[in-house]
Chain A
Amino acid sequence: MSETRITCEVNGRKVARTVATHKRLLDLLRDDLNLTGTKEGCGAGECGTCSVFVDGKLVKSCLVPAARAEGARIETIEGLAGMGPLTPVQKAFHKTGASQCGYCIPGMVMAATNCLRLNPEADIDEIKERMGGNICRCTGYTKILEAVEIARDVIAGRRPEGDLDTDEPLGDSFIGHNVRRIDAPAKVTGRLRYAADMKLVDMLQMQVLRSPHPHARIVSIDTSVAEAMEGVECVITAADVPGKDGFGVFVHDQPIMARGKVRHVGEAVAAVAAEDLLTARRAVAAIKVEYEPLPVIGTPEDAIAPGAPVIHDYAPDNVVKHIPLRKGNPEAGFAEADLIIEDSFSTQSVEHAYLEPEAGVAFVDHDDVVTVHSPSQNITHHRHMLADILGLPINKVRMVMSAVGGGFGGKEDMIYQGMLALAAIRTRRPVQLNFTREESLIASAKRHPSKVSYKMGLKRTGKITAITFDMLSDGGAYGMSSEGVMRKAAILSCGPYEVHNLQVDTRAVYTNNTPSGAFRTFGGMQAQFATESMMDIAAEALGMDPFELRRINMYRKGSITHTQHRLDRASLDMVLDAAETASRWESGAPNVRGAARSDMGGPDTRQPCTLGARIVAEAADLSQGDHPTKASTEAAE
C-alpha cells in the first residue's frame, strides 16, 4: 500500500499527514484528523453528510481523492464556529428544532452556510435548490428550511440577532411549535460522536462476507488463506459461536452468521477483523465458500403453496405468524348488506434509509465484560440475546446505545452486534464495524410487502355490516419483528371504525427475500392503505360524502374495537372535522367535482417540482449585457 504526504490547511491550521495514497478527503478528515463531524452516509455523493469546503467551494468529501487536498484550504463543520459562539446558521438550526437524529445536520449546516455565502438574499426556492444535494430522513425539511431563512434574515440585519436565542411563545399546542432540543448544539457543531465516529486504542476493523445466493446450503467455508494474511487478527463463522445461536425480536430464528445454509442475498456468512479496513476487505475476498443452491421462494404465495421448499425446519409450513381475529358473524353481516365491495391492495418493500448506516464497536473490558456500543433501538433485549449467544451470564454482557442516526424501526434487529462481540472475545482487542450504505440496504430489514384481500358489506345508509380482511405479508428470510407487525396490522386492520361482524387474518410467511422487520407504523400503514381506499371506493359506490361515510362508522365512546376492547373515549370525530376544514373539502361523493372544490390546483396544492430559481432571478440582468465581440480567455478557478 503506497503512502502519500499531504500538507494542507484545515480550519485555519496547517496540518501534515502521511496517508495511504488511495484515501479520500473524507478518510483523511475522519481517520487521520479525527474530524468526525463530517459523516459518511453513502460514500457515493448522494447524501451530503460529508460536505466540506475546499478552497471556498462546497464539495462532497467522499468524492474527493485525499491527494487533491495537497496545498488546499479546507473548512469542516468543526471550523465554522471554532472556539467561538455558534454561527447564526447553527443557532437557527437549534432554535427551530431542525436537528433530530442529527446525522445529516453537519452536512445540512455546511450546505446552508454555503448557500448564504453565495447568495445572502437567497429566497426559499433558491435555498431548497442549493441544499438539494443533502438528504434528511427525519424532519421532512420544513424546520431545516425555516432555520436557513431565519439565519439569512439575521445575517442580513433584517431580524435581530437576539431572536436566535429566544424561543417563540408557546400557544395552545406543541403541534407546529418549534422546540429546542437540548442535544442540538452537539449536533450542529458535529461534536456528537456516533458509533462510526468512535476510536479506541488498538482498534481493529471488521468486514463481513455476505451471501450472493437467496437460498443455498453451505457445503464448506475455507478461511485458511484469509487467516494467514498479515494484519488479519481473526476470521469468524457460525462454528465459532460458543452459546445458543439465535436472535430475533420474537422468534430467535436467526444465527449471527449463516449456519449450514444461507436464506437471503446479503446474509452474513463470515467476518474478518483486521488491522485496517483494506486488509479486512482483502481477507473477506480471500474466504472461499462452496454453496449448493436450493430451490428459492420468491413470493409469499409460493411460500404457502403445497410442496413449497421449507426455509426453516421449525416452520414446515413457512408461516412466521398468523393472527386471526373473529368478531360477530360475518356471514350474517354480508347477508344483510345492500352493497358488497371486493378488492385487493398491495404494498411494496420499503427501506428505512436512515442517514447513519449501521455501525458498532465491541471490546472486552478489564472485568471480562463484553461491551458493545451500537445504535440499537432495543439494547435490553439485545443484551439478553447476546448473553445466550455468547454463553455468558448476563452481567458479563453490556450493551450501550450510541447516538442513533435515524432508526425508524430498522435498528431493532441485532444483525451485527453478535459478530462484533465474538471478534472482540477472540482478539481481546476493540473491533469496529461500519456498514457501507450498500451493505445497509442489502442486509437490514425492510417494511413488509403485503397483499390484502378485502371484502366489505354496507347498508345503503353507509353503515358497514361486515368485513373480511386477509393480509399475506412477505416476512423475508427471518422472523425479526414479523409477529408484532402482523399483530399490529390485525389490531388496526379495519381502521378506526366500529364493525360488528369481521373476520381478520394477517399472516407473515418466510421467503428468500431480504427479511422484513419493524418500520414506522409497524403494519398499520399496509392495513390503513387498504381500509381507507375501501372507504373511498364505498363512498363513491354509495354516492356518499367520504367524510360522512367515515362519521357513520367511526369509533365513539363506548365502541367495541376489532379486538373486543371497549373504548372509554374516541377522537376521530375531531380529526375528521379538522381534516375536512383544512382540506377545504366540498361535500359530495369522491368522484364529484363541485364548483368550489379546490383539492386539485387549489391554494394549498403543492406546486410541480421545478429548478432554476436563480436563473430566472438573474435572467433580467443578463439580457442587458452585450454579446462578447472578441475572443476572451478566463482562467477558471
Chain B
Amino acid sequence: MLTYDAYHRPTSLPEALRLWRDAPEGSRLVSGATDLLPAARDGRLGDVHLPALIDLTGVTELRGYDFANGHVALGAGTVYQDFLTDPVLRRALPCMPYVSIWFADDQIRETATLAGNLVNASPVADGTPPVVALNGLVELSKLDGDAITSRRVPVRDFITGPGRTVIAPGEIMTRVFLDTCYGYGGAFQKVGQRRSLVISVACCAALVKLDESGRVFEDVRLALGGVGPGPIRLDDSERMLRGEPLSEELMQAAAGLAAEKVASRSRRDYRRDVVVSFVRAALSEALSNAGAKAPLQTMEDMANV
C-alpha cells in the first residue's frame, strides 16, 4: 500500500523544479504512476510511505513535441498511446507504434510515459531498446538558483544498470530527443507469457531503410532489451547489413551475432536462442513495413519449418 503525506500538482516547470529541489528526502516524481503504485505492494516493496509525490502531468512545458535538426524533441509527458494515435509521431518514429502496441495495454498507455520508462531503468523496459535504436538523448533539467539549466545525456550512458541512472538530485527529465526516421520500416518483437500487460523476457526494436532500388539496406538500427542489465545496440549486426543487398543468408548471419550479446544471468540459453529468431523476425517485419519488394519469411513461416 502506497501512502504519502503530500501530493503536489505543479503546472509549470519552474514550479515543479522548485518543489522537487525542496522536497523532503524520499519524495518521488510521478507521471503515470503506473510503476510506483503496483510496486508498493506485498511481495515487491510492501507498504511504502513517502513524504510527497510531485505529479508532473500538469506541467505545460512537458507536453507536446518539436522537430529540429533531424530530431524530434518529445516532452517528457508524452504517453505511450501518443505513439499509436498521433499520425505525425507515427511517421517520424516508425518503430514506436509497434513498441506501443506491445506495451502494457490501451488503458495504461494513456498515462504511462516514455520518459518514466527510461527513468525507471528496468532491464526489461520495452521503451529503452527503441530509444537506443533511435540514438536517444535525454534532457535533464534542474534549478541553478532561479535559472533552469539543462544537460543532455545519450540514453546509452544515462542508464548505468538495473534501476540505476545518472540522474542527479534536483533533476527532472524534461525531454527525450530521438532521430526522426522518415521512410524507415519499424518493428518490435517481444516474448512474454501474455499478449497484454506482460513484462518482456526479451524484446527487440528494429528500423530498416532501403535505398531507392528497394533491394539494398541503406540503414539498419537494431537494439535488444531484457537480455542484460541495460539495453544493447547491435552495432556489429547493423554494420554487417548496412550498404548490402537484401539476402536471407546475410540477415541470418547478422541475427546470429545477437546471441553473443546476451548477458542475463537467468534463462541465458533460452534468451540466446530467442534473440536470434527475434532479430531475424524483427528484420523481416521492418523490411515488410519499409515496403521491401521481395516476399520475406515471416515468424510463422519460420516456426512451421
Contacts and interface: CB of A to CB of B under 8 A. Distances in A.
A59 interface: yes
B91 A628 contact: yes
Interface stretch (B30-38, B228-236, B261-269): B30-38
Interface in B17-34: 30, 32-34
B174 to A, nearest CB: 14
Name which of B2, B37, B182 has the most chain A CB atoms within 10 A of its CB: B37
Given A21-B4, A21-B6, A133-B108, A636 B64 contact: yes
Interface string A1-35: 11010000000000000001110100000000000
Nearest to B4: A22
B196 A133 contact: yes
Contacts of B111: 59, 63-64
Contact of B108 (A45, A65, A625): A45
Interface string B30-56: 101110011001110001000001010
A63 B1 contact: no
Contact of B91 (A58, A277, A600, A625): A625
Nearest to A132: B196
A635 B64 contact: yes
Contacts of A1: 3
B64 A634 contact: yes
Contacts of B37: 24, 43-45, 62-63, 65
A285 B63 CA distance: 41
A65 B56 CA distance: 12
Contacts of A609: 195
Interface in B99-122: 101-102, 104-108, 110-111
Contacts of B224: none
A622 interface: yes
Given A22-B2, A622-B87, A615 B101 contact: yes
Contacts of A627: 91, 182-183
A278 B3 contact: yes
B7 A4 contact: yes
A439 B42 contact: yes
Interface in B139-159: none
A57 interface: yes
Contacts of A67: 7, 9, 55
Contacts of B87: 622, 625
A351 to B, nearest CB: 14
B285 to A, nearest CB: 10
Given A44-B41, A630-B67, A65 B33 contact: yes
Bin the interface of chain B by size.
Answer: 35 or more
What's the interface size class on A, roughly? 35 or more
Contacts of B289: 619
B123 interface: no
A582 B33 CA distance: 49
A374 B162 CA distance: 43
Contact of A58 (B79, B86, B110, B300): B110
Contacts of B67: 628, 630-632
B101 A44 contact: no
A160 interface: no
Interface string A611-635: 1101100010010010110111111
Given A63-B32, A634-B88, A438 B43 contact: yes
Nearest to A619: B289
Contact of A133 (B2, B38, B106): B106
Contacts of B135: none
A612 B289 CA distance: 12
A70 interface: yes
A48 interface: yes
B104 to A, nearest CB: 7
Contacts of B86: 634
B165 interface: no
Interface in B70-109: 75, 77-79, 82, 84, 86-88, 90-92, 97-98, 101-102, 104-108
A281 interface: yes
A24 B196 CA distance: 23
B67 to A, nearest CB: 5
Interface in A107-161: 111, 114, 129-130, 132-133
B304 interface: yes
Chain B contact residues: over half helix, strand or loop, or mixed?
mixed
Interface string A281-303: 10001000000000000000000
A635 B182 contact: no
Nearest to B298: A608
A58 B64 contact: no
Contacts of A625: 87, 91
Interface in A374-407: none
B7 to A, nearest CB: 4
Contact of A65 (B43, B55, B104, B196): B55
Contacts of A60: 107-108
Given A65-B7, A608-B303, A627-B182, A633 B64 contact: yes
B110 A22 contact: no
B96 to A, nearest CB: 11
B168 interface: no
Contact of B101 (A285, A600, A611, A628): A611
A46 B34 CA distance: 11
| A58, A60, A111, A129 pick with most chain B CB within 10 angstroms | A60
A277 B1 CA distance: 10
A258 to B, nearest CB: 18
Nearest to A210: B42
B33 A64 contact: yes
B97 A615 contact: yes
B5 interface: yes
A603 interface: no
A636 B7 contact: no
B304 A2 contact: no
A111 B196 CA distance: 14
Contacts of B252: none
Contacts of A612: 97-98, 101
B241 to A, nearest CB: 24
A51 interface: yes
A43 B195 CA distance: 20
A614 B109 CA distance: 15
A615 B304 CA distance: 25
Contacts of A628: 67, 88, 91-92
Interface string A581-603: 00000000000000000001100
B197 interface: yes
A57 B33 contact: no
B212 interface: no
B101 A68 contact: no
Given A59-B111, A64-B111, A633-B65, A438 B41 contact: yes
A65 B107 contact: no
A58 B97 CA distance: 19
Interface in A217-267: none
Contact of A634 (B32, B47, B65, B68): B65
A528 interface: no
B1 A281 contact: yes
Contacts of A600: 304
Contacts of A278: 1, 3
A87 interface: no
10 contacts: A21-B6, A43-B38, A43-B41, A59-B110, A59-B111, A63-B38, A64-B111, A439-B42, A608-B300, A614-B84
Q: Which 6 A-B pairs have the closest CB atoms?
A: A133-B105, A132-B196, A44-B38, A67-B7, A22-B3, A438-B42
Interface of B: 1-7, 9, 30, 32-34, 37-38, 41-43, 47, 53, 55, 57, 60, 63-68, 75, 77-79, 82, 84, 86-88, 90-92, 97-98, 101-102, 104-108, 110-111, 182-183, 195-197, 289, 299-300, 303-304
Given A44-B37, A65-B53, A614-B101, 13 more contacts: A43-B38, A58-B107, A60-B108, A63-B32, A63-B34, A64-B111, A132-B197, A615-B101, A633-B64, A633-B65, A634-B86, A636-B64, A636-B78
